[in-house]
Amino acid sequence: MTTRPTILVTRKLPPAVEARASREFNAILNPDDRLIGADLAKRAEGCEGLLICSSEKITPELVKALPASVRAIATFSVGFEHIDLEACRARGIRVSHTPEVLNEAVADIAMLLLLGASRRASEGERMVRAGQWKGWYTTMLLGPQIGGKVLGIVGMGRIGRALARRARAFGMEIHYHNRSRLAAEQEEGASYHATAESLLEASPFLSLHCPSTPESRNFLNAERIARLPDGAVVVNTARGDIVDDEALIAALKSGKLFAAGLDVFAGEPNIHPGYAKLDNVFLLPHLGSATVETRDAMGFCALDNLAAMLGGRPAPNPLV
């Protein structure tokens, strides 16, 4: 009988994923979902693989401290800014992520934010809950109609394209900026802008879909917000640090922007306190991939990757 590799699963995962992890590996689970933090290297003693989430920061120091037995790290996320890939490569640790499986769920949340922010869903919900809905009138909680307008998409990757398909069904015209222009069959009629600045000027609605990198950090700053049409609506389901919080809050306060819809935040869950004070921001607690089907698929994808990496085969979704 071959022995199953030992893996450390750093967070509590959906039941079906934990069941499979325990069948296929000697899996050390975290049933109480206590954050492991600085203890990670110690907890990884005797493990060959780690199944982590974006809550675990794989810094160069941590990589150095990991026991020599660790050969593979699979993250339960598409984003990988929490992992120092160079440090892993230097130590011969293979790394994978979970792209594709969450495209549709995240695009659904981007659409929800676009509609919720434009149509003032949280203001309306709060009004009803607080018993402050005194009656109907023709100008109550008006917002801009999305149909017939341009949606600008920054980063036309898998999730950006999934949002474009949804927004087209709502009658929106799609414009996008990407490092390079897509092939016609991927563009599906969307208009390409070679610069972000040109896209911003054309976009009364804007959705961000670029990864967090040193280049994209604070992408949406005061200067770029100024280029958006007055009264624009901004949506972010990518990463919080691609937005300059101070600049976004100032633009929401001044009326330069009509509203924003945010699912991700710099420093989450400790978000900038300014957001909670604003009526014209629709806030969600990083729910992008939070469907039963998608979270199972992310877990199975991470396990497929671990099995391949620890079995000496190419990982389906390698980063290193």
- Which amino acids are annotated catalytic? 239, 268, 286
Contact with ligand 8YV (CB under 6 A): which of 14, 79, 124, 144?
79
The DSSP 8-state label assigned to residue 172 in this structure reads P
Give the C-alpha separation, 72 to 319, whole Å: 11
By CB under 6 A, tell whether 305 contacts ligand 8YV: no
| Residue whose CB is less far from ligand 8YV, 58 or 174 | 58
By CB under 6 A, tell whether 76 contacts ligand 8YV: yes
Q: Per-residue x/- marks for ligand 8YV, 91-130, CB under 6 A?
A: -----------x----------------------------
Q: What is the residue whose two structure tokens read 């026991």?
A: 67
Give the C-alpha separation, 257 to 262, whole Å: 14
Only one of the segments 76-84, 193-201, 217-225, 275-283 lies at the binding site for ligand 8YV (rule: CB under 6 A); that segment is 76-84
Contact with ligand 8YV (CB under 6 A): which of 10, 54, 118, 212?
54
Task: Cite the DSSP H helix spans in 130-170.
Answer: 158-169
- Cβ atoms of residues 56 and 84 within 8 Å: no
Which is nearest to 25 in space by CA: 315, 311, 307, 317? 307
Q: Which amino acid is at 171?
A: G
CA 165, distance to chain mean position in Å, is: 18
Contact with ligand 8YV (CB under 6 A): which of 203, 289, 305, 317?
289
DSSP string, 26-70: EEE--TT----GGGHHHHTTT-SEEEE-TTS-B-HHHHHHS-TT-
By CB under 6 A, tell whether 53 contacts ligand 8YV: yes
Only one of the segments 60-68, 163-171, 197-205, 281-289 lies at the binding site for ligand 8YV (rule: CB under 6 A); that segment is 281-289
Task: State the minimum distance, in angstroms, from the CB of residue 75 to ligand 8YV.
Answer: 7
By CB under 6 A, tell whether 316 contacts ligand 8YV: no
- Cβ atoms of residues 310 and 302 within 8 Å: no
Chain contacts with ligand 8YV (rule: CB under 6 A): 53-54, 76-79, 102, 286, 288-289
